Structure 1
Amino acid sequence: MDSLLQLAADPAVWAALVTLVVMEVVLGIDNLVFISILSNKLPEHQRQSARRIGLSLALIMRIALLFSIAWLVGLTKPVFDLGFHGAVGAHGEPTFDTAFSWRDLILIAGGLFLLWKATKEIHHSVDPAPTGDVMDTSKAVISNFGSAIFQIIMLDLVFSIDSILTAVGMTDHVPVMIVAVVIAVAVMFLAADPLANFINNNPTVVMLALGFLLMIGLVLIADGFGVHVPKGYIYAAMAFSALVEGLNMWSRANHAKKAKQAADGEAKGD
């Protein structure tokens, strides 16, 4: 208890907490977009439950990993080396690592999964199944809910490991990391339903979100191969794309409003 009070009285700890909360929220955007897209594929009465289960599992995984820091740090140690080097940089250094750790393998697997899932969803959006296809709805509902939860768990694991390893590099105080994770997941809980509903109600945003998942998948794979893309570039690109899409939505809304006013004017003239 005394140690916790000492932490609470240290301004540096509060600064680290604020920084960690912001970082965890930003890193959680990827996870939240994926959960939103998956949950929106379910029947409407199951969507909120899937999102809450997914975020609850994300919180549990992050806290469990925080209490297993020694094991988690061990995941960064190389487990095998391919023993060759590809192209070299300007100073003669290899452009990618040939020694792979468990963390690298998990990131590569998670990135490949995101690429597969996003590509599959894009294909479904571009070329949907014929409406005449007959399907057993009851079985599909159960299978889809279980499949959605399983996929959420897999991506939660990838994002949790990446998030906690970043947090470990910023502070040595586990209680501070736990508080930051709890606050960040609470923010994600509040944002989950509005974000999912917004994505569901705007089809063009769905395609944009899937594009984000493709980009995130490629970044995870690159990170697994030792090519570290600064996260700031990724989120700046996502923010710029979202801004452009927002302007497009604003433009479409104005055109629709003017068209409605013109139609109302013609109706009154008649």
Structure 2
Amino acid sequence: MTEILALLSDPSAWAALLTLIVLEVVLGIDNLIFISILSNKLPPEQQQLARRIGIGLALIMRLALLSMIAFIISLTTPVFDLGIVGPLNDYGEPTFETQFSWRDMILIAGGLFLLWKATKEIHHTMDVEESDETLDKHKGAGSITFNAAIAQIVALDMVFSIDSILTAVGMTDAVPIMMTAVIITVIVMLVAADPLANFINKNPTVVMLALGFLLMIGAVLIADGFGVHVPKGYIYAAMAFSALVETLNIVSRKARARKKAALETAAAPD
């Protein structure tokens, strides 16, 4: 209790908390996009429940991992070394790592899973041989079972949770601050889950954009596992720019639709 009171009176602790909340919310976007796309493939009456369970499990995993800080840090210890000397960069350092820790292997496995899942969904979306009736049947009408959706959400929750906690550990060593940031982040995810999923479901082009994001995130996870660290700022800047362009496209399409409806109304006989 004394430690918590000391943190409450420490301005640097509040600054660390606010910074960590922002970082955790940004990192949570990846997790939320995946949950939204996957839950939208379920029957409508199961979609909200799947999102709640997925986000709830993300909170439980993050808090459980925070209670095992020493174990999480140990995941960065190399487990084996391939002994391969890769090309050197301008600083004389290898461009990729040949030592792999459990964290690296988890990130690589998660990245491969994201690439497989996003590619499969893109192929399904672009399969022109399927009839419109079949596509409508698949869209949020049980094209995946509830248990299968939860299993896939849990698998990716683990990957994103480990990445999230390692980010928190790098920001502060105060566990109460990390736990508070995680809880606030998950609350934000809960509030944003339904609007984001509904928006994605109502705009087919946004689905493709979100799947593209998952492809990029999967590639970044694999690169990170091999020791090629891509600055997260570049990734999220690209995602934000793409989202802005798509927003302009949506606004433009709606404006054209309103104009067309107005012209048809004006041309209609009295």
* TM-score (normalizing by structure 2): 0.95
SS at match of 1:96: coil
* TM-score (normalizing by structure 1): 0.95
SS at match of 1:80: strand
CA distance in 2, matches of 1:19, 1:191: 20
- Identical amino acids, percent of aligned pairs: 69
- Does structure 1 residue 98 correspond to structure 2 residue 85? no
Shift of 1:91: 2.6
CA deviation string 1:117-172 (max 9, x = no partner):
00000001001673587xxx9xx959611010000000000000001001001111
CA distance in 2, matches of 1:205, 1:77: 39
Matches within 5 A, 1:33-44: 33-44=33-44
Which residue number in structure 2 is paired with residue 117 of structure 1?
117
Structure 1: gaps spanning 5 or more residues: none
Shift of 1:51: 0.2
- Does structure 1 residue 232 correspond to structure 2 residue 233? yes
Shift of 1:85: 1.6
- Does structure 1 residue 82 correspond to structure 2 residue 82? yes
Are the structure 2 counterparts of residues 71 and 96 from structure 1 closer, same or farther at C-alpha, using a change threshold of 3 Å? same
CA distance in 2, matches of 1:253, 1:244: 14
- Does structure 1 residue 28 correspond to structure 2 residue 35? no
CA distance in 2, matches of 1:37, 1:129: 22
Are the structure 2 counterparts of residues 48 and 206 from structure 1 closer, same or farther at C-alpha, using a change threshold of 3 Å? same
Question: Is the CA contact 2:41–2:143 (under 8 Å) kept in the aligned structure 1?
Answer: no
Q: Which moved more, 1:159-168 or 1:89-98?
A: 89-98
Matches within 5 A, 1:146-157: 146-157=147-158
Shift of 1:216: 0.2
Shift of 1:86: 2.0
- Does structure 1 residue 54 correspond to structure 2 residue 60? no
Shift of 1:4: 1.0
SS at match of 1:169: helix
Q: Which moved more, 1:118-127 or 1:91-100?
A: 91-100
Matches within 5 A, 1:177-256: 177-256=178-257
The one-letter amino acid of 2:153's match is I
Structure 1 moving runs of 4+ over 3 Å: 128-133, 140-143
Question: Is the CA contact 2:41–2:142 (under 8 Å) kept in the aligned structure 1?
Answer: no
CA distance in 1, matches of 2:161, 2:120: 24
CA deviation string 1:163-187 (max 9, x = no partner):
1001001111101100100000000
Shift of 1:196: 0.2
SS at match of 2:100: strand
The one-letter amino acid of 1:33's match is I
Q: Which moved more, 1:105-114 or 1:79-88?
A: 79-88
Matches within 5 A, 1:128-167: 130-131=130-131, 141=142, 144-167=145-168
Query: How many residues are treated as equivalent by the alignment?
Result: 264
Are the structure 2 counterparts of residues 128 and 66 from structure 1 closer, same or farther at C-alpha, using a change threshold of 3 Å? farther
The one-letter amino acid of 1:218's match is A
Which residue number in structure 2 is paired with residue 170 of structure 1?
171
CA distance in 2, matches of 1:267, 1:86: 71
Question: Is the CA contact 2:35–2:54 (under 8 Å) kept in the aligned structure 1?
Answer: yes
RMSD: 1.6
Shift of 1:93: 1.4
Are the structure 2 counterparts of residues 143 and 210 from structure 1 closer, same or farther at C-alpha, using a change threshold of 3 Å? closer
CA deviation string 1:34-92 (max 9, x = no partner):
00000000000000000000000000000000000101100000000000122221232
CA distance in 1, matches of 2:231, 2:180: 25
CA distance in 2, matches of 1:103, 1:51: 26
SS at match of 1:79: strand
Shift of 1:262: 0.7
CA distance in 2, matches of 1:260, 1:3: 63
